[in-house]
Chains A and B, each alone.
Chain A
Amino acid sequence: MYRKICRALSLALTVCLMLSSGLPSAFAGRDLSDIIDLNDYPSSISSGLLCDRAIARGNEAFEEGDYETARGYYVFALRKIDKSATYCEGDVCNNLVLTLLYLGENRTAYDLCRYMLEENLAPGREDRYGYMMNMLACAHALGLSAAGELEHAREEGYFSFEDLADLADDQPRAFTGLLTGLVYNVLYIDMEGSEDDGAASWAYFPDDLFEDADLEDVRAKLSSGGVGREEYLEYIYEFLLEANLWFNLTYSADDPDIMEMILYVEALRDEAAA
Chain B
Amino acid sequence: MPDDRLSSKEAEKKLPQPKVYIVRNGEAVFKPGMKTWFVESRKGGNTESSGVMRDGDGAVMRGMVCTCNPFCTCEATCSCNPQCACQPVCSCDPVCTCDPVCSCQTTCTCQVTCSCQTTGGGYCTCNKVCTCNPVH
A contacts, CB < 8 Å to B: 48, 50-52, 55-56, 59, 62, 64-68, 80-85, 87-88, 90-91, 94-95, 98, 101-104, 106, 127, 129-131, 133-134, 136-137, 140-143, 178, 181, 184-185, 188-189, 192, 257, 260-261, 263-264, 266-268, 270-271
* Contact residues in A for B101 (Cβ distance below 8 Å): 82, 84-85, 87-88
State the Cβ distance, B45 to closest chain A Cβ, in Å. 7
- How far does the alpha carbon of A189 sit from the alpha carbon of B120 in the complex, in Å? 80
Which residues from chain B contact A141 at a C-beta distance below 8 Å? 5-7
Question: B10 — nearest CB in chain A belongs to which residue?
Answer: A104
Q: Is the interface of B mostly helix, strand, loop or mixed?
A: loop
Distance of B74 from chain A, by nearest CB (Å): 12
* A residues in contact with B102, CB < 8 Å: 82-85
Measured between C-beta atoms, what is the minimum distance from A107 to chain B in Å?
10
Interface residue ranges of B50-109 to A (CB < 8 Å) = 69-71, 101-104
Q: Do the beta carbons of B6 and A106 come within 8 Å of each other?
A: yes
Interface residues on B, range: 35 or more
A264/B71 contact (C-beta < 8 A), A48-B133, A68-B13 known: no
A98 vs B41: C-alpha distance in the bound complex, in angstroms? 15
Q: Do the beta carbons of A133 and B35 come within 8 Å of each other?
A: yes
Choose from B11, B39, B134 the contact partner of A104 (Cβ within 8 Å): B11
- Are A106 and B7 within 8 A (Cβ)? yes
A152 and B14 CA atoms in complex are apart in Å by 34
Most chain A beta carbons < 10 A, residue from B36, B40, B69:
B36
Residues of B within 8 A of A271 (CB): 22, 24
Q: When A and B form their complex, which 6 residue pairs have the shortest distance between CB atoms, in order from nearest? A: A130-B37, A82-B102, A267-B24, A260-B32, A65-B14, A56-B41
Interface pair B34/A264, CB less than 8 Å apart: no
6 contacts between A and B (CB under 8 A): A51-B71, A65-B13, A104-B11, A137-B6, A184-B35, A267-B24
A103 partner residues in chain B, CB cutoff 8 A: 11
Listed in ascending order, the chain B residues whose CB lies under 8 Å from chain A are 1, 5-7, 9-11, 13-15, 22-25, 29-32, 34-42, 45, 69-71, 101-104, 133-134, 136
- Chain B residues within 8 Å of A131, by CB: 37
Q: Do A65 and B29 touch across chains, with their CB atoms under 8 A apart?
A: no
Q: Which residue of B lies closest to A256 (CB)?
A: B32
| Chain A residue at minimal CB-CB distance from B29 | A267
A50/B13 in contact, CB under 8 A: no
Specify which chain B residues have a CB less than 8 angstroms from the CB of A189 in the assembled complex. 34
Not counting A102-B15, A127-B37, A261-B32, a sample of 6 additional A-B residue pairs whose C-beta atoms are within 8 angstroms of each other reads A59-B39, A82-B102, A85-B101, A101-B6, A133-B36, A263-B30
User: What are the residues of chain A within 8 A of B40 when measuring CB–CB?
Assistant: 59
CA distance A93 to B2 in the complex (A): 30
In the complex, residue of chain A having the shortest beta-carbon distance to the beta carbon of B16: A65
Minimum CB distance partner of B22 in chain A: A267
Across the interface, A134 reaches (CB within 8 A) one of B14, B36, B69, namely B36
Please, which residues of chain B bring their CB within 8 A of the CB of A257? 32, 35
Complex CA distance for A81 and B101, rounded to whole angstroms: 11
